[in-house]
Structures are given as structure tokens and as C-alpha cells.
């Protein structure tokens, strides 16, 4: 059957259409993505402003039309941190449902971490052993660890790069902003390290998300055009050398780097600081990029339920 997963994230609204059935690997059929930047449409009270809600509704209508055009039989719509953290989340969800018919499921941070972990486990299989999975979204950092399909530990921290100080300036980042964000990020991550270290060292460390993919690419990893099955690694040594370079660049200069999209260029430094802190505090020298992440986890969970129905 043809499934569609509609992901309302902090940066983008992404419709992924796959051909799938229980027991088989989902095959991508279509991708429809709009950069909405909900995390940057919050007012002083932490609410998504009326214009932002109008834009979200218009984009959901657009995604629904794309899903219909591609023959989607079932749509799995969900929202992550930008909607989850909005002070007017209930009103936003009600308007979206009333005006589009789409009932967005708001995932908790822990659910994001668990579903992403499921996708990574299915991608690498049981032979990967104990997995430590890191995922930097627009609004949060998810961490999960385990040996099965359900992680032994999972955490979500509000450390997404979309709303951090260096993300707002088109010019080089101010050193005070970098120091402040670095201290904040490391203090937040350090609080969680103990929850994971008691399980012992992982056999394999994996990262997902656009941020990690871009950082790996500028660090020398293969281009996306070379295919899903090419191994792509990110080394902490390479990342540490890139952080000061990114800090000295303008947004336009970051956008000119290999693999960096113009829409994400202003968030790359903040994402790099989060990635560097996570790798350092969890004592990770090298991690591998996984092509599958949260959207695939949502699809796999739905297929699992279909297989047991």
C-alpha cells in the first residue's frame, strides 16, 4: 500500500510518500517539502502567531493535495517540538483540524527519540549491537541507547539550532553568543550523560537528521548523489576544526559549502556546537550517518501494527 507521513517540524513541513507493506522495506515514492520555519514564527509569549498558523494551514492543504495526487491510501500526520512547545498548541491543532481535516499527533520528545531509534535499528540490524543514536532536529536534540528495538534510555533536550542566537545573524557569529550557547548546550547535555553511561559503552554510534548530514558532508563524507548505501561518517576531530571556521563565516559563505542548503545555513553553526558537545561529552570519536530517521520510524511502527492486526 502507499503510505504518506506528514512531518510538521520546526524548520519544514515534509510529506514523505512510500510504498510499503508489513515485513518489507519501505520504498520512497515521493517527497514534498516546504520550509515554513515554525520555530521562528513564535511571538513574545511563545505562541505561533496568526500569520504562522495561516501559513501552516496553507502548507498542510498543499501537502494533502500532493498526497492525493500520488495516490496515498493512509496519511500519518504528526508534529514535533515547534508545535509541542508553542503556548497556543491546542488552538493551532484545532484550527488545523477544522480547516484541513488533518488531526496532527503531537509527539513527545521521548517518542521522537524512540521512533528514531527504531528506524536506526531496522537500518543497521541486530549485528550493530548496542546503539547510541543522536538526532538534532530544528528544535530539539534526541538521544537514545539500547540493544533492542525499544531503547533502554531516551531523552529529548530543547537544543535545536533553529532558535539559538547564532542562528539569527547573517554575518559571522559574535564570540559572546558562541560562548554563551556553548556553555548552555554542554550543561544541558552533561545532565543526561549519566542516564546513558550506566548501560556501558555502545558498540555503534549513529546520527540522523539534516544537521548531522550537512556536518558530515563538509567534513568530507560522500555526496547524497552517491546513494543511500554509501557509508558516511563524521569524526569529532574534523567537526572541532570546522566550528571556528563556521563561526567566522557569513550565512552566504556557509550556504556555499558542499551539502549545505541555503535555508539551513544560518543554523549550521548552532547545530555544529550541539553536535560537537554531544560527541565530546559522550566520548564519541566517530559516528555513522543513518539515512533513516523519525519519519521512517513512524512508518515502520504503523507497518508493525498492520502486521499484528
Radius of gyration for the chain, computed over Cα atoms and rounded to the nearest angstrom: 19
Rounded percentage of the chain residues whose pLDDT exceeds 90: 87
Rounded distance, CA 37 to CA 285, Å? 32
Rounded distance, CA 90 to CA 267, Å? 28
Give the pLDDT of residue 155: 97
- What CATH superfamily classification does 109-294 receive? Exopolyphosphatase. Domain 2 (3.30.420.150)
Global pTM value: 0.95
**Ranges of each domain in the chain:** 2-106, 109-294
User: Which stretches of the chain are assigned E, i.e. beta strand?
Assistant: 2-8, 12-19, 27-35, 74-79, 105-106, 131-136, 141-146, 153-157, 204-208, 233-235, 286-289
Report residue 165's pLDDT band, with 50, 70 and 90 as the boundaries: low
The answer to whether the 2-106 and 109-294 domains have the same CATH topology is yes
pLDDT tens readout for residues 264-304: 898 999 999 999 999 999 999 999 999 999 999 999 999 99
> Helix axis angle, 210-218 relative to 268-281, nearest 10°?
90
CATH for 2-106 is 3.30.420.40
Indicate the DSSP class of residue 209.
S
| pLDDT for residue 143 is more than 60 | yes
Contact (Cβ atoms closer than 8 angstroms) between residue 106 and residue 125: no
Q: What is the mean pLDDT of residues 154-162?
A: 91
Rounded percentage of the chain residues whose pLDDT exceeds 70: 97
| pLDDT for residue 161 is more than 90 | no
The SS3 of residue 74 is strand
| pLDDT for residue 167 is more than 80 | no
| pLDDT for residue 237 is more than 60 | yes
**What does residue 156 show for φ and ψ, rounded to 5 degrees?**
-130, 125
Report residue 263's pLDDT band, with 50, 70 and 90 as the boundaries: confident
Closest CA to 280 of 307, 241, 240: 240
Give the pLDDT of residue 168: 57
Amino acid at each position: 500500500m502507499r503510505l504518506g507521513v506528514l512531518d510538521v517540524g520546526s524548520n519544514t513541513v515534509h510529506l514523505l510518500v512510500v510504498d510499503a507493506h508489513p515485513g518489507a522495506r519501505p520504498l520512497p515514492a515521493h517527497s514534498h517539502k516546504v520550509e515554513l520555519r515554525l520555530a521562528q514564527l513564535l511571538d513574545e509569549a511563545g505562541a505561533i502567531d496568526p500569520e504562522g498558523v495561516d501559513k501552516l494551514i496553507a502548507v498542510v492543504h498543499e501537502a494533502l493535495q500532493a498526497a492525493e495526487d500520488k495516490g496515498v491510501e493512509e496519511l500519518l500526520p504528526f508534529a514535533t517540538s515547534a508545535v509541542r512547545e508553542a503556548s497556543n498548541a491546542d488552538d493551532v491543532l484545532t484550527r488545523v483540524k477544522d480547516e484541513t481535516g488533518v488531526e496532527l499527533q503531537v509527539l513527545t520528545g521521548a517518542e521522537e527519540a524512540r521512533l528514531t531509534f527504531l528506524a536506526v535499528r531496522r537500518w543497521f540490524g541486530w549485528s550493530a549491537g548496542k546503539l547510541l543514536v543522536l538526532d538534532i532536529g530544528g528544535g530539539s536534540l534526541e538521544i537514545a541507547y539500547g540493544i533492542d528495538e525499544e531503547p533502554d534510555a531516551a531523552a529529548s533536550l530543547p537544543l535545536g539550532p533553529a532558535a539559538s542566537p547564532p542562528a539569527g545573524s547573517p554575518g559571522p557569529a559574535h564570540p559572546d553568543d558562541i560562548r554563551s550557547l556553548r556553555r548552555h548546550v554542554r550543561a544541558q547535555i552533561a545532565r543526561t550523560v549519566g542516564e546513558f553511561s550506566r548501560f556501558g559503552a555502545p558498540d555503534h554510534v549513529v546520527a540522523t537528521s539534516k544537521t548531522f548530514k550537512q556536518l558530515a558532508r563538509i567534513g568530507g563524507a560522500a555526496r547524497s548523489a552517491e546513494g543511500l548505501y554509501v557509508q558516511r561518517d563524521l569524526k569529532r576531530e574534523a567537526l572541532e576544526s570546522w566550528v571556528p571556521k563556521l563561526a567566522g563565516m557569513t550565512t552566504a559563505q556557509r550556504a556555499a559549502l558542499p551539502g549545505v542548503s541555503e535555508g539551513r545555513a544560518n543554523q549550521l553553526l548552532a547545530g555544529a556546537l550541539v553536535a560537537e558537545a554531544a560527541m565530546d561529552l559522550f566520548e564519541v570519536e566517530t559516528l555513522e550517518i543513518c539515512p533513516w530517521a523519525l519519519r521512517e520510524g513512524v512508518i515502520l511502527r504503523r507497518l508493525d501494527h498492520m502486521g499484528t492486526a
